[in-house]
């Protein structure tokens, strides 16, 4: 864990979407690393150029971390306008602003920009072909950033979970306490991303003022299915005492759990670039999950 890192030069970070899972995690990590940060959420509309320009002129950030996004994957199939505003127009506006200010932008995209039809892990240079409207907006948001600035770090991430807000791990935990049997999809494969280690790695590039800009794929090590992920959540939670019953978890195909938005069957990333270029430290998904669940147990005991 990164603790008390000192930036080589004074730095102030603007975190958009600071009340969300990722934004809240960044705020915590920056505070631990003695980095000055300012946050904004819905009170600053990233789709409004005047609003973000005024905010930037007041606070004079040296980096922008964009954690504001439309993330309701299935609702995006019917809420086209809102999804496009937040995932395309907003990031484009922030990229244009960052370019005018001469500062870097950090932005997050998704495995959903790929169709999942290949067997091997996806590389950063592979052609995108989103299957859902959500994936389409995230892909188009990437394009807006590419067109607006060269000083960006764009991290494609998958299956994000963390200590703030709802996520798959907490949903499975809740269902294990409420239901006698679970049914979880087994033919979609990828890797989870623990927000804490993602954020700590990214803070490290800010601390050293990294300038190797570009697209990077990031997730925890290993490749699993959602069913394998859910089973591990159950087994580790049993060991930690978070649950008391061994609830059966049935493996089902995607077709048995229809949703409005189509998901890629293969979401696995090739993470060579983020290791080689940015020297990120990646841990196995099971190690990160066990650490997270232990934190959940400790937090529940204190409450």
d(CA 158, CA 188): 12
pLDDT value of residue 221: 98
CB 4 within 8 Å of CB 28: no
pLDDT digits (tens, 9 = 90+) for 215-266: 999 999 999 999 999 999 999 999 999 999 999 999 999 999 999 999 999 9
Percentage of the chain beyond pLDDT 90 is: 92
Contacts of 108 (CB under 8 A, 6+ apart): 22, 66, 67, 69, 154, 155, 156, 157
Annotated catalytic residue, options 70, 112, 134, 161? 134
Does residue 8 register a pLDDT over 50? no
Q: Where are the domains of the chain?
A: 12-165+192-221+264-283
Contact 105, 66 (CB under 8 A): yes
Q: What is the pLDDT of residues 59-87, one digit of tens each?
A: 999 999 999 999 999 999 999 999 999 99
134 is catalytic: yes
Burial track 255-284 (b if 16+ CB lie within 10 A, e otherwise):
eeeeeebbbbbbbbbebebbeeebebebee
Nearest residue to 248 via CA among 174, 169, 171, 183: 183
Average pLDDT over residues 29-48: 93
CB 12 within 8 A of CB 38: yes
State the average pLDDT over residues 85-97.
98
pLDDT category, 175, cuts 50, 70, 90?
very high
How high is the mean pLDDT of the chain? Answer: 95
CATH number of 12-165+192-221+264-283: 3.40.50.720
What's the pLDDT band for 165 if we cut at 50, 70, 90? confident
Handedness of CA 282, 287, 290, 295 (dihedral sign): negative
DSSP string, 182-202: EEEE-S-EE--EEHHHHHHHH
Beta carbons of 105 and 152 less than 8 angstroms apart: yes
Cβ atoms of 154 and 215 closer than 8 Å = yes
pTM, full prediction:
0.94
Q: Considering only CA atoms, which of 168, 25, 43, 1 is closest in space to residue 106? A: 25
């Amino acid at each position: 864990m990164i603790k008390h890192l000192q930036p080589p030069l004074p730095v102030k970070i603007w975190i958009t979407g600071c009340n969300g899972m990722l934004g809240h995690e960044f705020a915590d990590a920056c505070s631990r690393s003695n980095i000055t940060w300012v946050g904004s959420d819905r009170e600053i509309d990233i789709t409004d150029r005047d609003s973000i320009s005024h905010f930037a002129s007041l606070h004079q950030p040296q980096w922008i971390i964009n954690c504001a996004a439309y993330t309701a994957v299935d609702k995006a199939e019917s809420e086209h306008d809102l999804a496009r505003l937040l995932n395309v127009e907003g990031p484009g506006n922030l990229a244009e602003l960052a370019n005018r200010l001469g500062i870097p932008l950090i932005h997050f995209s998704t495995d959903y920009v790929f169709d999942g039809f290949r067997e091997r892990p996806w590389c950063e240079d592979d052609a995108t072909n989103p299957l859902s409207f959500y994936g389409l907006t995230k892909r188009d948001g990437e394009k807006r950033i590419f067109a607006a600035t060269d000083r960006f770090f764009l991290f494609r991430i998958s299956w994000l979970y963390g200590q703030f807000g709802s996520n798959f791990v907490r949903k499975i935990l809740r269902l294990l306490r409420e239901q006698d049997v679970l049914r979880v999809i087994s033919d979609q494969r990828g890797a989870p991303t623990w927000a804490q280690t993602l954020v700590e790695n990214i803070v490290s590039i800010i601390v050293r003022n990294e300038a190797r800009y570009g697209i990077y794929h990031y997730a925890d090590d290993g490749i699993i299915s959602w069913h394998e992920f859910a089973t591990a959540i159950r087994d580790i939670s049993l060991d930690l005492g978070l649950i008391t019953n061994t609830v059966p978890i049935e493996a089902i195909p995607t077709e048995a759990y229809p949703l409005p938005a189509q998901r890629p069957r293969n979401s696995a990333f090739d993470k060579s670039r983020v290791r080689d270029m940015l020297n990120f430290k990646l841990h196995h998904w099971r190690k990160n999950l066990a650490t997270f669940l232990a934190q959940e147990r400790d937090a529940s005991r204190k409450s």
